């Protein structure tokens, strides 16, 4: 469904590389992030965490801690309210453990004290009596019928009888006759894969400053991807009314999905209510790794059949995900997206989620898709190798396009996969020569994108400038993009617009900054708000001229008489109308509220060259090119930035990053030294090719760009390493010892 009849294609501001409005604050150190705000009389909050992977909490004695000088409050699970809904109860029980500590690092109690050193001592003074229980952290082990039971009774109605006690959901997608399809294949490959859990790795640890009175009125400052979502969760978990809690989002130091939920905010509010003083909690990096959401780890079996000339005849994937100690639905998106890039007659994907004694999974950029597509794209590449076929030609031959029945159910509309593949094929990178121990890999990627609830208010000022008020934290330059869309629609210079992100009590509800939704949905609402303001300004001009409002149009940033009145009056600019607005009816503003749908799915293709050192098994990324359909690129720099950033997170996932648990279920690498994210010297330049295939669901053709880019790197790099090392890799990360071992066994 087209959002409006004439999708705009000629632009003045859109597509320029303007400077972001928060730039100076961010390069001078003035920008305020989660940990940067303090309040007079503030206490320091600190959280006590379980040293055990799985233990019954028999008793928590806080008396010694409470008796310490300078300790103003101690809270445990029972100090929070009891939400009825499972979702909120799980968030609560993750913020402070109920009757069992479910993973190493699970919060058990928290204190607020007058100094950091007293808070530290107060934590040590809390006596917790644990009864240790057997634990399980591996996805395949956790699915076994005799596995330690993480939580009882969490399976939903889809779980087949006879499944293990930790399986919480099962699902299946696809169509066609698999058996007949595989019978037509000349070659069938079936392989099993594993991927490690990785963390979003935002550089800013979670932090908040809470102030709440005994009457349940409060203010909360925190780094989050969605202040409204924080308010909803805190209201449920603290038992207060939404309107009484004003949440202000600080500048956010990265999120990638990991800051779409709460870990410390309800705890800080509870400590503040109990102590009657503001409370600040800042997580350490170790706490971030042990207790905030990494992505799922996975185990999968993929089977694909192909004819000699490269046509896929049938394909299936069994995906097993663990998302930690609470139920999660991430495998749904893996199972839906696994084969999205292909036009298949017979396809099936099956997904299981299981509980483990690990931290509760949080969304991570295209949640669930990278690990599924990694397995599928690895098998397709191996088939190409075995059959002597060009991997890009095979993708083109089988590519999903308009009219393809998607493996997840619907029939595709306009999609840009073929154009993306063709761009990759035509790029000099694809024909560049390779040396010894070097290999080239590629992979397709896919993500849905979505819109969601959005409010925007646009205010015209007396001096002809415009303020845009929106409610979605800006993670990667969205304030610039939103200002650009307002300027474009009003036809005024970008510099005349300032966009601010407001608190929960100053604008209606907004969904979280996630799902690659902000440029699409907030942009759409901004354009509509600008149109409302333009209508009002045309009306004011018509009154001044004494003609019908219908006989006025908005052109070149000004109201102009049209039709029979055309040329009767000189155009009246936005600034001129604004200067007189007090006398023509008062303030001029536009606003728009929508639950936006119609975000376009997006495809990407990544090409990578690697060199594997036969002595050490270490992989070097030599060259990397990202091709992605962005729809219309509003600010190309920030579109490229999303493509480059996602690719590099994927490189980390493919080569180094993993949660490593010991036999005791304790996390062994909760710091950046041992959980190794890519550093500048690991990488080459990341080249980008933006394809702009307009999304008919947005007035300027925007899709979403933030998430698709993390999907292809896993398989692209695995395929490149497999070719360079001459052995098929099937487990991530491909750390040097793992590659060396595979090479020695080939």
Partner 1 sequence: MVQVKLWGSLRDLADGQEMVEVEASNFKQVLEQLEAKHPALGPRIKRGVSLALDGVIYREAWFTPVSEENEVVLMPYMVGG
Partner 2 sequence: MKNFHINTTVNGDEAEFICEPDETLLDVLRNRLGMTGSKEGCGTGDCGACSVILNDRLVCSCLVLAAEAEGGKVDTIEGMADGDKLHPLQKVFIEKAALQCGVCTPGILVAAKALLEKNPDPSETEIRYWLAGNLCRCTGYDKIIKAVQDAAAEMRSA
Kindly determine how many residues on this chain lie close enough to bind partner 2 according to the rule CB under 8 A.
59
CB of residue 299 to partner 1, shortest distance in Å: 19
By C-alpha distance, which of 324, 317, 319 is closest to 295? 324
CB of residue 690 to partner 2, shortest distance in Å: 14
- Residues 403-432 touching partner 2, rule: CB under 8 A, are none
Site string for partner 1, 273-312 (x = CB under 8 A): ----------------------------------------
Q: What are phi and psi of 267, to 5 degrees?
A: -70, -45
Q: Is 645 in the site for partner 2 (CB under 8 A)?
A: yes
Q: Which residue has the tokens 């002597």?
A: 388
Site string for partner 2, 437-476 (x = CB under 8 A): --------------------------------------xx
Question: 426 Cβ partners below 8 Å, 6+ apart?
Answer: none
- Residue 638 binds which one of partner 1, partner 2, none, with CB within 5 to 8 A depending on kind? partner 2
Q: How far apart are alpha carbons 170 and 182 in whole angstroms?
A: 24
What is the DSSP secondary-structure string of 286-310? HHHHHHS-B--EEEEEEEEEE-TTS
Q: What is the CA 501 to chain-centroid distance, rounded? A: 19
- Residues 141-160 touching partner 1, rule: CB under 8 A, are 156-158
Nearer residue to partner 1 within complex by CB, 130 or 350: 350
Q: Is 479 in the site for partner 2 (CB under 8 A)?
A: no
- Residue 367 binds which one of partner 2, partner 1, none, with CB within 5 to 8 A depending on kind? partner 1
Nearer residue to partner 2 within complex by CB, 165 or 641: 641
Instruction: Judge whether 198 and 659 are in contact, CB under 8 Å.
Output: yes
CB of residue 291 to partner 2, shortest distance in Å: 15
Question: 418 Cβ partners below 8 Å, 6+ apart?
Answer: 396, 399, 401
Beta strands in 86-186 (DSSP E): 100-101, 107-113, 127-132, 167-175
CB of residue 648 to partner 1, shortest distance in Å: 15
Quick one: which H or E segment has residue 643? helix 636-655
- Residues 673-702 touching partner 1, rule: CB under 8 A, are 697
Nearer residue to partner 1 within complex by CB, 448 or 661: 448
Instruction: Judge whether 586 and 648 are in contact, CB under 8 Å.
Output: no
Nearer residue to partner 1 within complex by CB, 123 or 639: 639
Q: What are phi and psi of 564, to 5 degrees?
A: -65, -25
Q: Is 248 in the site for partner 1 (CB under 8 A)?
A: no
Among 441, 452, 561, 645, binds partner 1 (CB under 8 A): 452
CA dist 173 to 166, 338, 349, Å? 22, 10, 5
Max CA separation in the chain (angstroms): 87
Q: How far apart are alpha carbons 442 and 718 in whole angstroms?
A: 9
Q: Is 451 in the site for partner 1 (CB under 8 A)?
A: yes
Instruction: Judge whether 109 and 96 are in contact, CB under 8 Å.
Output: yes
Instruction: Judge whether 45 and 107 are in contact, CB under 8 Å.
Output: no
Among 3, 13, 14, 35, binds partner 2 (CB under 8 A): 35
Site string for partner 1, 706-735 (x = CB under 8 A): xx----------------------------
- Residue 101 binds which one of partner 2, partner 1, none, with CB within 5 to 8 A depending on kind? none
Instruction: Judge whether 486 and 497 are in contact, CB under 8 Å.
Output: yes
Q: How far apart are alpha carbons 729 and 738 in whole angstroms?
A: 9
- Residues 161-220 touching partner 1, rule: CB under 8 A, are 170-174, 200
Q: How far apart are alpha carbons 401 and 344 in whole angstroms?
A: 11
Q: How far apart are alpha carbons 320 and 328 in whole angstroms?
A: 12
Gyration radius of the chain's alpha carbons: 27
The window from 132-140, 180-188, 397-405, 636-644 that contacts partner 2 (CB under 8 A) reads 636-644
Among 165, 218, 476, 515, binds partner 1 (CB under 8 A): 515
Q: Is 528 in the site for partner 1 (CB under 8 A)?
A: no
Q: How far apart are alpha carbons 17 and 228 in whole angstroms?
A: 31
- Residue 329 binds which one of partner 2, partner 1, none, with CB within 5 to 8 A depending on kind? partner 1
Q: Which residues bind partner 2 (CB under 8 A)?
A: 17, 19-20, 22-24, 26-33, 35-36, 38, 117, 200-205, 251-256, 282, 284-285, 475-477, 635, 637-638, 640-641, 644-649, 671-673, 677-683, 685-686
Q: Which residues bind partner 1 (CB under 8 A)?
A: 1, 156-158, 170-174, 200, 256-258, 260, 329, 332-333, 336, 348, 350, 363-367, 406, 408-413, 447-452, 514-517, 595, 597-599, 601, 697, 706-707
């Amino acid at each position: 469904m087209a959002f409006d009849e004439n999708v705009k294609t000629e632009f003045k501001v859109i597509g320029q590389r303007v400077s972001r409005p928060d730039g100076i604050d961010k390069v001078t150190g003035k920008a305020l992030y989660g940990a940067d705000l303090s309040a007079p009389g503030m206490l320091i909050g600190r959280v006590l965490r379980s040293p055990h992977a799985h233990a019954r909490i028999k008793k928590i004695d806080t008396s010694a801690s409470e008796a310490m000088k300078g300790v103003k409050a101690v809270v445990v699970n029972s100090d929070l309210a009891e939400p009825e809904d499972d979702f909120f109860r799980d968030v609560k029980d993750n913020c402070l453990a109920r009757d069992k500590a479910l993973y190493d690092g699970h919060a058990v109690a928290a204190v607020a004290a007058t100094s950091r050193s007293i808070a530290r001592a107060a934590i040590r003074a809390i006596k917790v009596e644990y009864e240790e229980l057997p634990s399980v952290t591996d996805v395949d082990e956790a699915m076994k019928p005799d596995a330690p039971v993480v939580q009882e009774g969490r399976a939903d109605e889809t779980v087949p009888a006879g499944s293990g006690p930790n399986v919480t959901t099962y699902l299946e997608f696809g169509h066609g006759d698999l058996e007949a399809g595989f019978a037509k294949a000349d070659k069938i490959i079936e392989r099993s894969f594993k991927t490690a859990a990785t963390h979003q790795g935002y550089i800013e640890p979670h932090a908040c400053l809470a102030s709440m009175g005994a009457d349940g009125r409060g203010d909360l400052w925190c780094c989050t991807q969605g202040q409204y979502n924080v308010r909803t969760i805190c209201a449920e978990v603290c038992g207060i009314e939404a309107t009484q809690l004003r949440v202000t989002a600080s500048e956010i130091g990265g999120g990638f999905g990991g800051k779409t939920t709460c870990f410390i905010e309800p705890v800080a509010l509870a400590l503040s209510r109990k102590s009657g003083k503001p409370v600040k909690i800042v997580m350490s990096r170790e706490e971030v790794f042990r207790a905030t959401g990494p992505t799922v780890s996975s185990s999968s079996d993929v089977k694909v059949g192909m004819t000699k000339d490269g046509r896929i005849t049938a394909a299936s994937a069994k995906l097993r995900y663990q998302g930690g100690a609470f139920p999660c639905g991430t495998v749904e998106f893996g199972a839906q997206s696994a084969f999205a890039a292909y036009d298949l007659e017979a396809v099936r994907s099956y997904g299981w989620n299981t509980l483990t004694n690990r931290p509760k999974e949080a969304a991570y950029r295209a949640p669930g898709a990278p690990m599924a597509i990694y397995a599928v794209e690895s098998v397709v590449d191996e088939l190409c190798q075995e059959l002597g076929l060009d991997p890009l030609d095979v993708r083109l031959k089988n590519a999903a396009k308009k009219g393809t029945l998607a493996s997840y159910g619907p029939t595709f509309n306009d999609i840009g996969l073929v154009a993306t593949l063709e761009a990759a094929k035509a790029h000099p990178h694809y024909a560049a020569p390779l040396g010894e121990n070097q290999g080239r890999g590629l992979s397709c990627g896919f993500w849905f994108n979505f819109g969601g609830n959005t409010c925007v208010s646009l205010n015209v000022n007396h001096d002809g400038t415009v303020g845009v008020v929106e409610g979605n934290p800006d993670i990667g330059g969205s304030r610039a993009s939103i200002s650009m869309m307002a300027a474009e629609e009003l036809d005024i210079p970008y510099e005349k617009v300032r966009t601010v992100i407001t608190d929960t009590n100053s604008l209606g509800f907004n969904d979280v900054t996630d799902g690659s939704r902000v440029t699409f949905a907030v942009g759409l609402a901004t354009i509509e708000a600008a149109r409302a303001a333009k209508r009002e300004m045309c009306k004011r001009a018509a009154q001044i001229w004494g003609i019908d409002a219908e006989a006025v149009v908005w052109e070149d940033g000004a109201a102009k008489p049209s039709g029979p009145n055309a040329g009767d009056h000189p155009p009246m600019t936005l600034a001129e109308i604004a200067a007189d607005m007090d006398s023509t009816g008062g303030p001029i503003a536009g606003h728009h509220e929508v639950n936006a749908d119609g975000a376009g799915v997006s495809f990407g293709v990544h090409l990578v060259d690697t060199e594997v050192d036969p002595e050490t098994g270490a992989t070097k990324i030599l060259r990397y090119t990202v091709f992605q359909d962005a729809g219309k690129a509003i600010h190309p720099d920030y579109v490229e930035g999303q493509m480059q950033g996602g690719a590099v997170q994927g490189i980390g996932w493919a080569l180094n990053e993993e949660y490593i648990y010991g036999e005791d279920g304790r996390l062994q690498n909760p710091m950046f030294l041992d959980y190794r994210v890519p550093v500048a010297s690991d990488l080459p330049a990341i080249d980008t090719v933006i394809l702009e295939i307009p999304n008919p669901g947005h007035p300027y053709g925007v899709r979403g760009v933030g998430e698709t880019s993390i999907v292809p790197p896993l398989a692209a790099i695995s395929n490149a390493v497999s070719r360079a090392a001459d052995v098929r890799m099937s487990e991530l990360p491909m750390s040097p010892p793992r590659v060396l071992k595979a090479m020695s066994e080939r």
